Amino acid sequence: MTDPVVLKVAVLASGTGTNLQALIDQVHGRDGVRIVAVGSDKPEALALERAQAAGIETALFPVSDFNGNRAARDGAMADWLRARGVQLVVLAGYMQILGPAFLDRFADQVINLHPALLPAFPGLDAVNQALAYGAKVFGVTVHFVDEGVDSGPVIMQRAVELPDARVLDDVLPHVHALEHQMLPEVVRLFARGAVRIASTHPRRVLVGPLAVLPER
């Protein structure tokens, strides 16, 4: 009897790992998904403890171990992930930019979660950017990663209206709730082969049953 087809997922995280925990709780070991590796650039990242508690292999890739050479660090990390058969790399609060060589090795296989409705408010501190702008609608984007900063094709977006929001704590619980729903949902879609970039438009992502939506 052969094993069922399983999407092997890696998660890269720099911080507390609440989105990793959402993936562990909701899709790891079910829905055709298995998280096989968790990497971090920070030895103190709580994400590593969450992974270890779930029996998931972990590794550290601080750039200081590579004499500050980010390309060498990315190469070592890519080798580690490929050796584990990783098919999808999820950036869940990973606070490093991945270079083109890494992205070439995982072409259309790296996704990121961003706490804003891109293309608005890319980069760091997105929620505070939105608050400073006076935004009344906030949200979350899951997107493919390219060589830019939060500039890859959008896979999924969801919004929440918060017209009275004034400070970060008015927004973050709502944003985190969206993140914890959306990221597992997108990973499930990848496991079903239901996400692809349209051949007719490099920025249009088709999401649906086996991604057979018309490419208008």
Q: Which residues are catalytic?
A: 114
DSSP string, 155-202: EEEEEEE-TT--SHHHHHHHHHHHHHHHHHHHHHHHHTT-EEE-TT-T
Query: With the C-alpha atoms ordered 35, 37, 41, 46, is the resulting torsion angle positive or negative?
Result: positive
Find, among 67, 55, 60, the residue nearest to 14 by Cα.
60
Strand pairing category for 88-91 and 58-60: unpaired
